[in-house]
Amino acid sequence: MTTFQKGQTNYDLFAPEFLFNPYPLYKQIRCEDPVYFYEKGGLWLLTRYQDVEAAFQDQRLSSNRSPLFARQLHDLDFSIIQNFTFLMANMMLESDQPQHTALRKIALPGFAARALESWRSIIQETTDSLLDQVEAQHTMDIVADLSLQLPSLVITKIFGVPEEYRQDFIQWGKDIANFWGVSGSDNIEAIARNADTAAASFTTAIKNLIAERQQQPGTDMISLLIAAYSDNEMSLDVLPSLCIDILVGGYVGITDLIPNGVNALLNHPQELQRLKENPELINSAVEEIIRFDTPGTQSLRIAKENLTIGGKEIPAGSVVALVIAAANYDPEKFDNPEVFNITRSPNEHLGFGKGAHFCIGAVLARMELTICFSTLLRRMPNLTFDPNSAPIPRRSTLAFKGFESLRVTF
Ligand code: HEM
């Protein structure tokens, strides 16, 4: 385990060992300076469970992060992201009350229980067909062969995107998310221009899909959302913003959770064995995987006014990072937080956030993860790390914790 100097105040959040395993450093920050101003990044880090939980519900903290997009561009002209900005302007995730409440109300029918149940078979069939492709090889890369494909295929199928356009939708989502989630990069102009081109292409394509579904409604999520927008007399011009929100939300977290979960299970053989012998523990195992190694390690907010948190004065306009990964390991909230325990109860992790912006896709995400891990363990019960290829964790960003590659044999 990496050790850090006691009392050190310039914690190195971009050290390669931290990006690989942030938990020891978060523990140190939580103990020494739980509301910490990270000067290099220009943001406040909240690392205690009670502070992160409260901040998620604090309306003095804004989810409108557009000032951060401007800040990322430095002295570049803001007009290079005009299509991107338009798409973001009506996005639920980026809005505050009362706009957020209105947008969320008409998004909910897209996640109705009956609709979710009807998509269960899409998830199962897609998982099985991806595993069919690698079964005979007795080896696979959990990232390339499964996790990069499953959630993106599932969300585009649920949207009813025709097969020939699915990869385009995913690529646009990735290009947009790249600028959205970026935290400082040398080639920011290229990333910004890519995101803007993707935003323009996505908007045109999704508007075409919306027009088709208006003519011929189906059981897909876009049709359900069109109906909800019409019932609420909301202009369909803002529907593309919700669609990109759901598209990106629908694959980013799950793409990383699948390898993070496989890694956690293979590193804890007793827990893996317990799950194999008691498949009914899958729901609580999924919750523990989300707590233990969550992919969205932090959520950013902007202070609308001067605040005091944990005795620290936080000026209006400050960027505040709600560090979910640190809160999920807070011993004030979780017994033995460093222990991976698939029957942990209670397990009130903050992996899906809390409050008004609580993940709208949580039920779908849980369903997808449950089916994915159950199917993997049922079909490949001898799953183990590939002795010839060490896992390659992502070391490039603070925002998304996952793997570049995780090879297994079975
Ligand atoms: C099918 C999968 C998913 C979909 C469709 C989805 C979609 C969304 C959407 C649209 C929001 C914004 C809600 C709002 O602003 O009211 C959201 C919020 C959130 N989601 Fe998800 N999500 C999915 C999976 C996940 C996963 C796997 C995680 C991580 C474990 C996750 C973590 C979060 C968090 C932390 C928030 C709150 C963000 C904030 O308040 O800043 N989501 N999700």
Which of 359, 366, 400 best tests ligand 1's pocket when mutated (most atoms within 8 Å of CB)? 359
pLDDT value of residue 6: 38
Give yes or no for residue 261 CB within 6 A of ligand 1. Answer: no
Asked if 24 and 1 count as a contact pair (C-beta separation under 8 A), the reply is yes
In a domain, 22, yes or no: yes
**399 pLDDT more than 80:** no
In a domain, 6, yes or no: no
Give yes or no for residue 360 CB within 6 A of ligand 1. Answer: yes
Give yes or no for residue 249 CB within 6 A of ligand 1. Answer: yes
Helices (H), 57-149: 66-73, 82-89, 99-107, 113-135
Terminal CA-CA length for the chain: 29
- Phi/psi at 201 (5° precision): -65, -45
Residue 313 bridge partners (DSSP): 308
**What is the mean pLDDT of the segment spanning 308-318?**
96
Minimal CA–CA distance to 146: which of 130, 125, 128? Answer: 130
Looking at ligand 1, which atom is closest to the CA of residue 111? 5
**Could you tell me the distance, in angstroms and rounded to a whole number, from the CA of residue 112 to the centre of ligand 1?**
16
CATH of the domain at 100: 1.10.630.10
Give me the domain span that covers residue 128.
Answer: 16-409
In a domain, 195, yes or no: yes
**What is the mean pLDDT of the segment spanning 90-98?**
95
What letter does residue 168 receive in the DSSP assignment? H
In a domain, 9, yes or no: no
**What is the mean pLDDT of the segment spanning 274-278?**
98
* Number of CB atoms found within 10 A of residue 41's CB: 15
118 Cβ contact list (under 8 Å, min separation 6):
219
CA distance 146 to 144: 6
**Could you tell me the distance, in angstroms and rounded to a whole number, from the CA of residue 339 to the centre of ligand 1?**
25
Asked if 320 and 43 count as a contact pair (C-beta separation under 8 A), the reply is yes
Give yes or no for residue 257 CB within 6 A of ligand 1. Answer: yes
* Sign of CA pseudo-dihedral 235, 237, 243, 248: negative
Torsion of CA 338, 341, 346, 351, to 10 degrees: 60
Q: What DSSP string runs through 25-74?
A: HHHHHHHH-SEEEETTTTEEEE-SHHHHHHHHT-TTEE---HHHHHHHHT
Give yes or no for residue 93 CB within 6 A of ligand 1. Answer: yes
Q: Residue 326 has which token pair? A: 């640190």
Q: Residue 209 has which token pair? A: 């899909």
**Could you tell me the distance, in angstroms and rounded to a whole number, from the CA of residue 246 to the centre of ligand 1?**
8
**What is the mean pLDDT of the segment spanning 91-105?**
96
**What is the mean pLDDT of the segment spanning 257-280?**
98
* Number of CB atoms found within 10 A of residue 322's CB: 26
Looking at ligand 1, which atom is closest to the CA of residue 301? 41
**Could you tell me the distance, in angstroms and rounded to a whole number, from the CA of residue 6 to the centre of ligand 1?**
35
pLDDT in tens, 4-43: 443 447 888 888 888 889 999 999 999 999 999 998 888 9
pLDDT in tens, 54-72: 999 999 999 999 888 888 8
**Could you tell me the distance, in angstroms and rounded to a whole number, from the CA of residue 14 to the centre of ligand 1?**
25
Give yes or no for residue 110 CB within 6 A of ligand 1. Answer: no
| Amino acid in position 58 | D
Which strand (E) or helix (H) includes residue 404? strand 403-405
* Number of CB atoms found within 10 A of residue 80's CB: 15
In a domain, 312, yes or no: yes
In a domain, 5, yes or no: no
Longest Cα–Cα distance in the chain: 65
Query: What is the number of structural domains in the chain?
Result: 1
pLDDT value of residue 16: 80
CA distance 247 to 269: 34
In a domain, 4, yes or no: no
Q: Residue 15 has which token pair? A: 């050290």
Crossing angle for the helix pair 362-379 and 282-292, nearest 10 degrees?
A: 110
Residue nearest to atom 32 of ligand 1 (CA): 352
**3 pLDDT more than 90:** no
Q: Is 46 exposed, middle or buried (0-12, 13-18, 19+ CB in 10 A)?
A: buried
Give yes or no for residue 34 CB within 6 A of ligand 1. Answer: no
54 Cβ contact list (under 8 Å, min separation 6):
none
- The residue that leads in pLDDT, 13 or 99, is 99
| Amino acid in position 134 | V
pLDDT value of residue 4: 40
For residue 302, how many C-alpha atoms fall within 13 Å in the half-sphere facing its CB? Answer: 14
pLDDT in tens, 217-229: 999 999 999 999 9
Looking at ligand 1, which atom is closest to the CA of residue 104? 16
**171 pLDDT more than 70:** yes
In a domain, 295, yes or no: yes
pLDDT band at 183 (very low <50, low <70, confident <90, very high): low
**What is the mean pLDDT of the segment spanning 200-209?**
97
Instruction: Compute and round to an integer the Cα radius of gyration of the chain.
Output: 21
Asked if 11 and 4 count as a contact pair (C-beta separation under 8 A), the reply is yes
pLDDT in tens, 141-159: 999 999 999 999 999 999 9
pLDDT in tens, 326-364: 999 999 999 999 999 999 999 999 999 999 999 999 999
Give yes or no for residue 299 CB within 6 A of ligand 1. Answer: yes
3-state secondary structure (DSSP) of residue 358: coil
Residue nearest to atom 14 of ligand 1 (CA): 357
3-state secondary structure (DSSP) of residue 340: coil
Share of the chain above pLDDT 70, in %: 96
Minimal CA–CA distance to 26: which of 338, 257, 287, 396? Answer: 338
**Residue reference for tokens 């956030």:** 353
**What is the mean pLDDT of the segment spanning 130-135?**
98
